């Protein structure tokens, strides 16, 4: 069985066939999903999806794109929203300098707030980084030096050096469908030496559909294609990788209840 550690089931893309999407996931062997919060102002909608389904969990947080447009939350705010049993982490948060929809200083400030909340409740933080590798690593290292925290780099697409360093710092790496793309040789090389006990898989649905579904709306069922490619890169069977990545999920997201 597999876990889709990062999807967005509250997005309008799934409104018309939500139940079928869940059925497709079950048929593909994806028995657990984490629907990720990107706007705190929509958190209730995200939480309600998780509460309605035993096999779906959620997070609370503000995507770096939305750091300036959303209310600036405090550690206390985030921790209060994470009180429900179905909320298993904070984010997604982090730095995105590719689009820069929000000023960098606000992104960085909110990133630190999420990390502080993660420490407060001993929950993982889900980290987004794009075209911000140097600043992301510097901020993580600074916060780790102050006090350690747990978490993962979601939709990993950075360098091998970055991968090696975040693993050294105790974080996990989550792989999306990008790993299946023909031109993703650098990504496959970057994760080739990441220990098996630090890897997770995700879809980031409805985005980033893996080959052979590229060009179509992504959905949790397609986690299986990504997992198969990561297994190939790591030189292990699909069954071995499925077990390892699922074990990793339950180890990192300790608030979950394994069935």
Annotation: binding site: 6, 8, 92, 128, 154, 204
Q: How far apart are CA 239 and CA 232, in angstroms?
A: 11
Closest Cα partner for 100 from 55, 67, 123, 57?
A: 67
Cis peptide upstream of residue 92 (ω within 30 degrees of 0): yes
- Annotation: binding site for a divalent metal cation: 6, 8, 92, 128, 154, 204
Closest Cα partner for 133 from 95, 179, 171?
A: 95
Cis peptide upstream of residue 229 (ω within 30 degrees of 0): no
* Token pair recorded at residue 137: 């690593």
Q: Are 179 and 230 in contact (CB under 8 A)?
A: yes
């Amino acid at each position: 069985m597999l876990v889709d550690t990062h999807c967005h089931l509250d997005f309008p893309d799934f409104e018309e066939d939500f139940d079928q999407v869940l059925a497709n996931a079950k048929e593909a062997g994806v028995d657990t999903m984490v629907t990720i919060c990107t706007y705190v102002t929509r958190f209730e909608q995200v939480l309600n999806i998780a509460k309605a389904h035993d096999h779906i969990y959620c997070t609370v947080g503000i995507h770096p794109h939305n750091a300036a447009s959303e209310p600036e939350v405090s550690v206390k705010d985030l921790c209060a929203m994470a009180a429900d049993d179905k909320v298993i982490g904070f984010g997604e948060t982090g730095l995105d300098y590719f689009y820069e929809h929000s000023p960098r200083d606000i992104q960085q400030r909110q990133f630190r707030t999420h990390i502080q909340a993660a420490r407060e409740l001993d929950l993982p933080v889900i980290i987004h980084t794009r075209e911000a590798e140097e600043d992301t690593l510097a901020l993580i290292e600074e916060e780790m030096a102050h006090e350690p925290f747990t978490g993962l780099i979601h939709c990993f697409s950075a360098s091998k050096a970055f991968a090696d360093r975040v693993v050294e710092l105790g974080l996990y790496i989550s792989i999306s469908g990008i790993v299946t793309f023909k031109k993703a040789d650098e990504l496959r090389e970057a994760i080739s030496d990441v220990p098996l006990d630090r890897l997770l898989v995700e879809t980031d649905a409805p985005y980033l559909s893996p080959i052979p579904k590229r060009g179509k709306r992504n959905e949790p069922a397609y986690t299986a294609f990504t997992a198969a490619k990561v297994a190939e890169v790591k030189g292990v069977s699909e069954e071995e990788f499925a077990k390892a990545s699922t074990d990793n999920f339950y180890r990192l997201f300790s608030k979950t209840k394994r069935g």
